[in-house]
Amino acid sequence: MNRKLAFLDLLCYGAIPFLIWKYGREPLGDYWAILLSTAPAFIYTVYRFVKERQFNVLGLFIISSLLISTTVNLLSSSAERMLWNQVFLGFGFASVYLFSMLIKKPLALYFAVDFAYLQGYPRNDSISLFKVKEIFMGFQYITLLFALRNVFQNLLKMWLLTRYGADGYGQMIIYMTITGWVFSGLIMAGFYLNSVKINQFLKTNMEESKRVESNK
């Protein structure tokens, strides 16, 4: 992630929502302040989606998550109920990641296939390669990290809600941003380590093919 994207992420997912909450709470009330604070992240994510043309599994997952989250927020009757609904929804998304692992179709693998496709590699070739046992297990672990991120962040949000109610929303934004960055770092490290395994596998296969050709 380059510095510009990192700055925009911090701005749209952290700084602007926090400022909307802090200065919009008194004139608008808790419910509308929280609802409006989710708008920058929504608009920014849609912008990134369209700009990067992620019309694939990753893009579909992002847009579906946004639509479901926004619908839940709009249907919530109060600020505190909205936050609790977000917690339950977060656990629901975690269960989707875990279910994909259970059926041996980890979402992280298909996210990687989408990325490889943008680099010019055919989807079917990438899927076949990524399903090699050693590589496949790496994607299972990365998908587990996605699930753990949702579980950890929503347990933290539950604790803050139980202790402070909607008054703790400002702290939630800060904590969610920090923990989100930590888990994003772990997930990126996971993808990097798995890419090293992929390169080693391809190198070994290439050397083996050359050895077979030379012995003919």
Q: What is residue 6's predicted lDDT score, i.e. its pLDDT?
A: 62
pTM of the model: 0.76
**Overall domain count for the chain:** 1
Lowest-confidence segment of 68-82, 89-103, 177-191 by average pLDDT: 68-82
pLDDT at 2 over 80: no
Q: What is residue 124's predicted lDDT score, i.e. its pLDDT?
A: 87
Model pLDDT for residues 30-51, shown as the tens digit of each residue: 777 777 877 887 787 777 767 6
Nearest to 78, CA basis, from 120, 29, 151, 132: 29
Say if 109 falls within a structural domain: yes
Count of alpha carbons within 13 angstroms of residue 72, beta-carbon side: 19
Say if 44 falls within a structural domain: yes
Say if 126 falls within a structural domain: yes
Residue 168: band (very low, low, confident or very high) from pLDDT cuts 50, 70, 90: confident
Say if 178 falls within a structural domain: yes
Judge whether 185 and 25 are in contact, CB under 8 Å.
Answer: no
Residue 211: band (very low, low, confident or very high) from pLDDT cuts 50, 70, 90: low
Helices (H), the chain: 3-10, 16-28, 30-37, 39-51, 57-75, 79-102, 107-118, 123-130, 133-164, 169-215
Across 104-118, average pLDDT = 87
Say if 216 falls within a structural domain: no
Residue 73 CA to residue 101 CA, distance in Å, equals: 28
Residue 138 CA to residue 153 CA, distance in Å, equals: 23
Q: What is residue 189's predicted lDDT score, i.e. its pLDDT?
A: 96
Judge whether 38 and 17 are in contact, CB under 8 Å.
Answer: yes
Nearest to 31, CA basis, from 177, 172, 156, 169: 169
pLDDT at 60 over 90: no
Q: In terms of pLDDT, which residue wins out, 183 or 65? A: 183
Q: What domain range includes position 137?
A: 3-211
pLDDT at 54 over 60: no
- Name the phi and psi angles at 40, rounded to 5: -55, -45
Lowest-confidence segment of 26-40, 144-158, 195-209 by average pLDDT: 26-40
pLDDT at 90 over 90: yes
